[in-house]
């Protein structure tokens, strides 16, 4: 059980830490996660977001610590309907009996679709972008953020405290004893922020760009960002805002991810030779084995990489299942503006390269080669050809980055 933390005067973190979660619908969460909820004590006591259902007792315990009686909560604000944030709502509403539960118009629909007849009896109130809610000394300003990363998503801004309660935006799956960005290892924090963006937020980068622009146009002063997962941003706001600007703009650097799935190590030999060629041209390389490295870690490396090189042995006229898994996952996250190529070994048919090329084309990647195939075990001359392919990809990466400046 974590301790209640006062974020600012009369504003409290009352969420839960999930030290044990290791998989978040296909995303590897090696460092656990948190389900953050925030309590604002004012004339109208307001709870922003709740927690995953198994952690309701943690939240109730925290409310008792601050308020004595959880029924003193007047309002609940649901910034996001996904079940890791709304799963505890039925039990909490039953216990608290709030006057009102605020959500976006799409959130209203989402709550009904998740909780059915039960939600129809809740005191739901729809709010839209620009709507304001007085809590007494404080005001809540609502801003819909559709598709960051669900249709119902919105954020809540407290202008008097210069606080943005950002639901999933700016979050991390990161379980720590520290509640703030300056209480944890900053390098690990940014690793987890990048992983979160790459595996959850990336497909919605145009909407992130729009949100950043809207915040600037509205002149919102922000001193703290309170996300629904991970730690609170108070000391390194510039770092995370700059990172979101960069990631949502699809900015990349001279880095290539060489990802492969191998049967009898022939494709692995090709991967290493391609990596040698890339490095010879001064391009940073991350070689990742699809049979060992998790799909979400591969996707994290790809976030800032300009190059994606994929390889697989042929199995049953197709690629190996590990590579099919990786490419299906990457394609769904819609990376953009990648320089790419495919390669692989085969025994008698060799269709893997063709299938991988199709995935790369669907991602709108720029293919610099028709695909390199080797029958059975590569010879010294064929490995030299692989190295030449790496050099060709590296040159294309550097040219593309130079043209983008």
State the catalytic residues.
Answer: 25, 80, 82, 84, 149, 168, 196, 229
20 CB-contact burial (10 Å; exposed 0-12 / middle 13-18 / buried 19+) = exposed
**Cα 337 to Cα 249, 268, 304, 377, 400, distances in angstroms:** 10, 26, 11, 33, 9
Nearest one of 258, 260, 257, 256 to 344, comparing CA atoms = 260
What is the Cα–Cα distance from 217 to 284, expressed in whole angstroms?
38
What is the Cα–Cα distance from 205 to 397, expressed in whole angstroms?
22
Nearest one of 47, 19, 46, 43 to 33, comparing CA atoms = 19
185-189, long-range: CB within 8 Å, 24+ apart, which pairs?
186/236, 188/31, 189/230, 189/231, 189/236
38 CB-contact burial (10 Å; exposed 0-12 / middle 13-18 / buried 19+) = buried
Question: How is residue 71 annotated by DSSP?
Answer: G
Nearest one of 301, 334, 378, 323 to 206, comparing CA atoms = 334
**Cα 394 to Cα 276, 278, 340, distances in angstroms:** 11, 5, 10
| First-residue to last-residue Cα distance in the chain | 50
Question: How is residue 55 annotated by DSSP?
Answer: G
Q: What is the secondary structure of 244-267 as a DSSP string?
A: HHHHHTT--EEEEEEEEE-SSSHH
Report the DSSP pairing between strands 16-18 and 33-35: antiparallel
Instruction: Output the CA angle 145-149-152, nearest 5 degrees.
Output: 55
Nearest one of 314, 319, 362 to 338, comparing CA atoms = 362
């Amino acid at each position: 059980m974590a301790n209640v933390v006062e974020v600012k005067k009369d504003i409290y973190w009352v969420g839960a830490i999930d030290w044990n979660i290791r998989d978040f619908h296909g995303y590897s969460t090696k460092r656990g996660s948190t389900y953050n909820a925030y309590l604002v004590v004012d004339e109208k006591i307001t709870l922003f977001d709740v927690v995953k259902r198994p952690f309701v007792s943690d939240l109730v315990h925290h409310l008792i610590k601050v308020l004595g009686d959880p029924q003193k909560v007047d309002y609940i604000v649901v910034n996001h309907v996904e079940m890791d944030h709304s799963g505890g709502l039925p039990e909490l509403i039953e216990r608290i009996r709030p006057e009102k539960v605020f959500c976006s118009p799409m959130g209203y629909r989402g709550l009904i679709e998740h909780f059915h007849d039960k939600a129809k009896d809740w005191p739901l109130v729809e709010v839209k972008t620009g709507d304001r809610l007085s809590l007494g000394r404080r005001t809540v300003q609502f801003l819909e953020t559709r598709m960051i990363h669900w249709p119902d998503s919105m954020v809540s801004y407290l202008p008097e405290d210069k606080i943005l309660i950002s639901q999933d935006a700016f979050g991390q799956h990161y379980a720590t004893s520290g509640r703030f960005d300056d209480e944890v290892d900053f390098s690990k924090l940014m690793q987890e922020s990048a992983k979160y963006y790459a595996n959850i937020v990336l497909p919605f980068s145009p909407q992130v760009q729009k949100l950043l622009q809207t915040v600037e146009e509205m002149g919102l002063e922000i001193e703290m960002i309170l996300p629904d997962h991970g730690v609170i941003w108070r000391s390194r706001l510039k770092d995370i805002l700059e990172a979101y600007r960069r990631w949502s703009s699809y900015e990349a650097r001279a880095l290539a991810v060489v990802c492969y799935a191998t049967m009898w190590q022939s494709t692995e030999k090709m991967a290493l030779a391609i990596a040698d060629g890339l490095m010879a041209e001064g391009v940073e390389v991350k070689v990742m084995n699809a049979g060992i490295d998790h799909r979400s870690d591969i996707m994290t490396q790809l976030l800032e990489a300009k190059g994606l090189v994929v390889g697989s042995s042929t199995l049953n006229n197709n690629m190996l299942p590990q590579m099919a898994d990786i490419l299906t996952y990457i394609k769904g996250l819609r990376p953009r503006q990648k320089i790419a190529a495919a390669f692989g070994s085969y025994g008698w048919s060799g269709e893997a390269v063709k299938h991988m090329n199709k995935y790369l084309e669907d991602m709108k990647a720029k293919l610099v080669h028709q695909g390199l195939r080797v029958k059975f075990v590569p010879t010294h001359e064929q490995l030299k050809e692989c190295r030449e392919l790496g050099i060709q990809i590296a040159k294309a990466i550097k040219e593309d980055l130079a043209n983008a400046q």
